[in-house]
Structure 1
Amino acid sequence: ARVTLVAANASMPDPAGVDVVPVGTAVELREAVLRAAADADAVVMAAAVADFRPATYATGKIKKKDNQEPAPITLVRNPDILAEISQTRARSGQVVVGFAAETDDVLANGWAKLKRKGCDLLVVNEVGERKTFGSEENEAVVLGADGSETPVAHGPKEALADTVWDLVARRLE
């Protein structure tokens, strides 16, 4: 397979044989993903993109002034890349996979997100203290637009990745 990895804040070396596209913002991420998705059979949106970003950026340090509170930070929405990719498929038969980190009502929120985003598969997992982020292990359920639920028991993240790719491959056949 030809693989393009669009990555921000990556601390690992680039994987061998992979085209890596570094990005720094959600807007740059959107542009790079749209370019890469144009000829992709499968798009896996594993990034945890923030829902909002500051409307303006300071060019330097915001210094503290005597007894003065800082100005409020105005936020604007980041683009919903998963929904955009899902709704405007670049290719017929393209498989789109999203991820949902949930803190409560994991499956109910996952099914609602799958419907709202319009992707083919949604990997849903519960997050919280000592769960998922920064851990080498994970537990998830992969929801399918066809109504399927594929649970993945707690274990190495590689096992979850294998399950996701098996589900993608079946949809590409």
Structure 2
Amino acid sequence: MAINTDAPHATHALGERAALHSTDFRDTQKLLDISGKELKRELNRSPSDTILVKYLEAEQTVVNDASEPRSPSRLSFRRALSPEPGEREPRSFMWVAVLSCFCPAVPINLFALYFAHVSRSMIQVKDYEGARRVGRLALLLSIVSIVVGLAIILYLLMTEYK
């Protein structure tokens, strides 16, 4: 940023604030007034700038041409738009996750419920491959939660009657 040395300096009771308000910002206004065509004309004067402008324009067309829809999940990078013929939609296993919430394995069953919800959301946006993977994870966590919960209940029952 250049300092305008031609501006008069105000040195009264307000000090430097008054000096900043009284300075002339003509250079900044000139830069703001330059249109896109004038900017390209200015950049095209040197060969290295021409290459830079062409590179930036090519990069913009590549970004605009990428019309492939992105998956909303971090777990999958591909999106299957519909289930293959002879195959049905994947399951989210929400009912098993809700059933596992009645077992006293609290952190595990909450994760199972979360992943079942994520799987159901992926099915709604037609990300079937990601929904299948997350649904299997929800089922696995639900089963682990039920087994751990039953083990805790059995342990408490056995230690109480001794």
Fold shared, TM-score > 0.5 on shorter chain: no
Point out the structure with the larger helix share. Answer: 2
Normalised by the size of structure 2, how large is the TM-score?
0.23
TM-score, with normalisation over the residues of structure 1?
0.22
Greater relative contact order structure (CA < 8 Å, 6+ sep): 2
Higher strand share goes to which structure?
1
User: Which structure has the larger Rg over C-alpha atoms?
Assistant: 2
